[in-house]
Structure 1
């Protein structure tokens, strides 16, 4: 049978074309499209990576040796130059002596040298395992040698784990490195976490490790979230006391004034200002603190000539009289929405509370009553008819897929008022409860403009996806939405003092 099949195939191949029949494929002048099902893709990425790593591990055909600490790594210039601009210049440019050497010494800190082998394997295989403890030294190497894909991977890893870094004492080192090396996404993630959870960070041991420049940066932020200014003062005192253990007395005196210059004493009440005299640090630097406390008392007593002078001198000027995002009960209120999964669409939850109209005790205006409406499951505007002079106009219904919060004062007895509004939304990351999102806005309320909407506070789809638990839903069953609203008056001291 096999012989007959072979003969038949040979006869088919040798048979000439019959007259009037189309030419055989071998004689066709037009190319035919290949059948996709007849193709087969070979993917040997895994085995290629294994062979590349074997070259590194065995040193086969290596052309340079890297000396890092006490370790030696026999590597291949072509591999290193393909992934790193720095290695390319170092190992291939004739202007660098290292390019003509068989051994190149690299100076690395011990923690960085410990992850150097993993970085090399990444250059050969494109794979690396990073952890909370190894990611920062790995990022240092990636930035130093301009390994862009590794730097991006480390930065993304850290951005997603800032909360866990705060729990393990790594947040300060991550933040300070990100600022120094201009890692913008990581800097933003760390800065936002510290601003929104400042008191949690301030009571941790790592707070004492803040560089003075970093601490001053946060003290200058208007949207720093803290219970009140005297609480912030107490945290700064703790930081200064920690510095006293390693700084001489003459340095500490200047440091106290440099840091306390950015504490906003006029934002404290007269009683709080008086109690500062009982703090040992205040007593040791009495002249400086008495001057700062006098500024606060001028503000609360309505001595606007003095306030004008302070603003004009610019130490620190207008910012001294600008409130932060204070969570004390007189400035804020909480709203908790239970059984979130059972809420009907377009439901509105309303919060009513009062807040002072001014931070100065010299201002006797009555408190402002606020109505805050929350629309966590979207907004639905029903169809209605608008009566105009020509007749009636139909306005069709409109549905907005947004998480909205609306502020409105019930009345404005004493004319226009400017406030800073803030919405703080709690969340959970890897079991850690923290303030996950903050939205702020300054607004001048008038009789004509009395409503402020915060739209897209959260991702509507993420919050309302029943298939996945949103990180903004708390409680044992993940069914509680918790938020806090803050309203602080922005006293127009420039106008008052002009």
Structure 2
């Protein structure tokens, strides 16, 4: 290793003693003094000044003992950076190995074009401990941090990506980040991307990324029951566009089409698909049995059908549909002020046999805990009169206004979608499933801090919810032939 000049070695030693903390923490303003640790003990911090001098050292190349020659695979782009072995080895064990094995003062590094474009930012981070990130640079910076085992930067970029899933971009970025996370084994980023896409599916369907997503991601989404979208028809139309654009093999297209929940479409939509959809006409044989069961589902009594078929299979399980037939939006202004209630109607069930029947629901939001003993007490008008406790947590209760014999064989799952504002976009932040009260979850809005006006969960001072009621038909004893 080339010997550093004495003054550079002295400066770097000072940096190691005083300024290294700035690489992992938030440096205080230059010249501030913290008092603490004991009587008469003061701390004088000039870490920001040290970092600024380190940045100047990198920019000017003073005392450099290694040249980093960054080349793309086709050698059509070359970038040369004058650096210092001590800092590189301090920050990266990979650099330490490369520098020990090099011949001469130049270290040749082969990088992809996207990584080469941000390599100077990456090196600057090693000197200064911070960098600016743009959406289209995040993947490349994560690649470099992973390759050179700079764990602090890797974790920081992962956090940046998970916090910027909602940010608007012309061509979309969440699906691309998911594919990258899947490839590299970043479980945290992978799960965050997949959940965001599932809960904000309409945005993905309308983005530039949708026609090019992988079949693996497509199937991962189609198999989920927590997808948030307007209707199953919206999903079919988008799937038809994906098949037309991607031109997958026959087996992939058939598997995707079989993941559509045709029974959640009314018969009029099924008839239209069978007569107007070119995709369904091409692959109708592969889904004929599903269409047949869907028509049976709509024509027969669910109770009667449940004697012969498993009505709990995915074909008969609703997703989180935003259509008015399935629930209602609910905007609660000043949510910490007092209890609120609302009423709405849904169809008794997705079966055509029940589609004309309506159920009226009463929903109560309480900003404070409601004890089990006072879960729901009704007046003669059917309004719920809760008992509130100061200092409690928020909760939502959803109950039918009246009981009915039609409910036999139907189990109603309630879902509350909680919206939030992220990076200027309104997105679904949380999805809570319960049967009567969000108290069943135990963590409803536990992180929301609704008393703080700047809470991410408040949009213009209001809490935006959407209540979905999902009727699930219960299987009975299977009849014997």
Shared fold (TM-score, shorter chain, > 0.5)? yes
Q: CA separation of 1:183/1:53 partners in 2, compared to 1, >3 Å: closer, same or farther?
A: farther
Instruction: Provide the residue aligned with 1:257 in structure 2.
Output: 254
Does the Cα contact within 8 Å between 1:53 and 1:124 map onto a contact in 2?
no
Q: CA separation of 1:77/1:167 partners in 2, compared to 1, >3 Å: closer, same or farther?
A: same
Match for residue 430 of structure 1 among 416, 423, 435: 423
Does the Cα contact within 8 Å between 1:228 and 1:328 map onto a contact in 2?
yes
Does the Cα contact within 8 Å between 2:69 and 2:81 map onto a contact in 1?
yes
Report the CA distance between 1:233 and its aligned residue: 0.8
Instruction: Provide the residue aligned with 1:287 in structure 2.
Output: 285
Between structure 1 and structure 2, the one with the greater Rg is 1
Q: CA separation of 1:120/1:379 partners in 2, compared to 1, >3 Å: closer, same or farther?
A: same
Matched, 1:203 2:226: no
Report the CA distance between 1:49 and its aligned residue: 5.3
Report the CA distance between 1:236 and its aligned residue: 0.7
Instruction: Provide the residue aligned with 1:218 in structure 2.
Output: 221
Instruction: Provide the residue aligned with 1:489 in structure 2.
Output: 471
Match of 1:240, SS?
helix
Does the Cα contact within 8 Å between 1:369 and 1:411 map onto a contact in 2?
no
Q: CA separation of 1:59/1:267 partners in 2, compared to 1, >3 Å: closer, same or farther?
A: same
The CA distance in 2 between the partners of 1:207 and 1:115, in whole Å, is 27
Match for residue 87 of structure 2 among 50, 64, 79: 79
Match for residue 140 of structure 2 among 134, 137, 140: 137
Match for residue 450 of structure 2 among 451, 454, 463: 463
Report the CA distance between 1:281 and its aligned residue: 1.6
Match of 1:162, SS?
coil
Instruction: Provide the residue aligned with 1:128 in structure 2.
Output: 131
* Alignment RMSD (CA, Å): 3.6
Match of 2:285, SS?
helix
Report the CA distance between 1:187 and its aligned residue: 2.8
The CA distance in 2 between the partners of 1:185 and 1:295, in whole Å, is 39
The CA distance in 2 between the partners of 1:75 and 1:418, in whole Å, is 66
Instruction: Provide the residue aligned with 1:175 in structure 2.
Output: 178
Report the CA distance between 1:122 and its aligned residue: 1.1
Q: CA separation of 1:381/1:309 partners in 2, compared to 1, >3 Å: closer, same or farther?
A: closer
Q: CA separation of 1:46/1:216 partners in 2, compared to 1, >3 Å: closer, same or farther?
A: same
* Equivalent residue runs for 1:194-343 within 5 Å: 194-244=197-247, 251-277=248-274, 278-302=276-300, 318-337=313-332, 340-341=333-334
Q: CA separation of 1:217/1:42 partners in 2, compared to 1, >3 Å: closer, same or farther?
A: closer
The CA distance in 1 between the partners of 2:179 and 2:217, in whole Å, is 7
Unaligned runs of 5+ in 2: 1-36, 73-77, 375-386
Report the CA distance between 1:472 and its aligned residue: 3.2
The CA distance in 2 between the partners of 1:364 and 1:170, in whole Å, is 39
Instruction: Provide the residue aligned with 1:161 in structure 2.
Output: 164
Instruction: Provide the residue aligned with 2:346 in structure 1.
Output: 355
Could you tell which deviates more after superposition, 363-372 or 255-264?
363-372
Instruction: Provide the residue aligned with 2:390 in structure 1.
Output: 399
Q: CA separation of 1:112/1:55 partners in 2, compared to 1, >3 Å: closer, same or farther?
A: closer
Instruction: Provide the residue aligned with 1:20 in structure 2.
Output: none
Instruction: Provide the residue aligned with 2:21 in structure 1.
Output: none
1:261-309 C-alpha deviation (Å, 9 max, x unpaired)? 2111222222221111211222233323434312312333449999899
Instruction: Provide the residue aligned with 2:118 in structure 1.
Output: 115
The CA distance in 1 between the partners of 2:348 and 2:216, in whole Å, is 34
Would you say how many aligned residue pairs link Structure 1 and Structure 2?
A: 422
The CA distance in 1 between the partners of 2:342 and 2:396, in whole Å, is 10
Report the CA distance between 1:167 and its aligned residue: 5.7
Could you tell which deviates more after superposition, 428-437 or 295-304?
295-304
Does the Cα contact within 8 Å between 1:380 and 1:399 map onto a contact in 2?
no
1:420-443 C-alpha deviation (Å, 9 max, x unpaired)? 2111223323332333332223x4
1:156-187 C-alpha deviation (Å, 9 max, x unpaired)? 22222211145662222222222322333333
